[in-house]
Structure 1
Amino acid sequence: MTGGASGIGLAAAQLMRACGARVAVLDRATLDPSQEGLEYQPVDVTDRASIETAFAQVEDDLGAVDVLVNSAGVLERPLPVAQARDKEWDKVISTNLRGTYLCCRHAGLRMAERGHGAIVNVSSVTGLRASPLRAYGPSKAAVINLTEGLAAEWARNGVRVNAVAPGFTRTPATDIAFAVGYGSADGFAATSATGRLVEPQEVANAIAFLASDLASAITGVTLPVDCGYLVAGAWDPYGGPPDAG
Structure 2
Amino acid sequence: MGDLVIVTGGASGIGAAVAALLRARGCRVVVFDLAPDQPGFAGWLRVDVSDEAAVEAALAKVEDGLGPVCGLVNAAGVLGKMHAPQRLQMSDWDREIAVDLRGTYLTCRAAGARMAARGAGSSSSTSPRSPAGMTSGPLHGYGPAKAAVISLTTTLAGEWGPRGVRVNAASPGFTRTEALEKGIEAGVLDPGTLSRPSALRRLVEPGEIAAAVAFLLGPEASGITGVNLPVDAGYLVGVTWQPYGGLRGG
The one of 148, 155, 171 equivalent to 1:165 is 171
The one of 8, 18, 43 equivalent to 2:14 is 8
SS at match of 1:194: coil
Paired position in structure 2 for 1:224:
230
Q: Which runs of 5+ in 1 are unaligned?
A: none
Paired position in structure 2 for 1:177:
183
Paired position in structure 2 for 1:197:
203
- d(CA) in 2 for partners of 1:168, 1:4: 18
Provide Cα deviations, 1:75-101, integer angstroms capped at 9, x if missing partner.
Answer: 012122222111111000000000000
* Contact kept? 1:78, 1:182, Cα under 8 Å: no
- d(CA) in 2 for partners of 1:41, 1:89: 26
Distance apart, 1:235 and its partner CA: 1.2
Provide Cα deviations, 1:173-214, integer angstroms capped at 9, x if missing partner.
Answer: 112222333212222112311111100000000000000010
Paired position in structure 2 for 1:53:
57
Structure 1, 43-52 or 185-194: larger mean CA deviation:
185-194
1:1-245 equivalences in 2 (<5 Å): 1-33=7-39, 36-123=40-127, 124-125=129-130, 126-244=132-250
Provide Cα deviations, 1:24-44, integer angstroms capped at 9, x if missing partner.
Answer: 1111112444xx245211100
Distance apart, 1:59 and its partner CA: 1.8
What amino acid is the match of 1:70? N
- d(CA) in 1 for partners of 2:186, 2:92: 17
Distance apart, 1:233 and its partner CA: 1.6
* Contact kept? 1:77, 1:182, Cα under 8 Å: no
SS at match of 1:121: strand
- d(CA) in 2 for partners of 1:117, 1:4: 20
- d(CA) in 2 for partners of 1:142, 1:8: 20
What amino acid is the match of 1:41? L
- The alignment of Structure 1 onto Structure 2 pairs a total of residues equal to 242
Distance apart, 1:2 and its partner CA: 0.4
SS at match of 1:81: coil
Q: Which runs of 5+ in 2 are unaligned?
A: 1-6
Provide Cα deviations, 1:130-178, integer angstroms capped at 9, x if missing partner.
Answer: 1111111100000010110000011010000000010001111112222
- d(CA) in 2 for partners of 1:37, 1:95: 23
Distance apart, 1:60 and its partner CA: 3.0
- d(CA) in 1 for partners of 2:220, 2:117: 23
SS at match of 1:138: helix
Identity %: 51
**TM-score relative to the length of structure 2:** 0.93
**TM-score relative to the length of structure 1:** 0.95
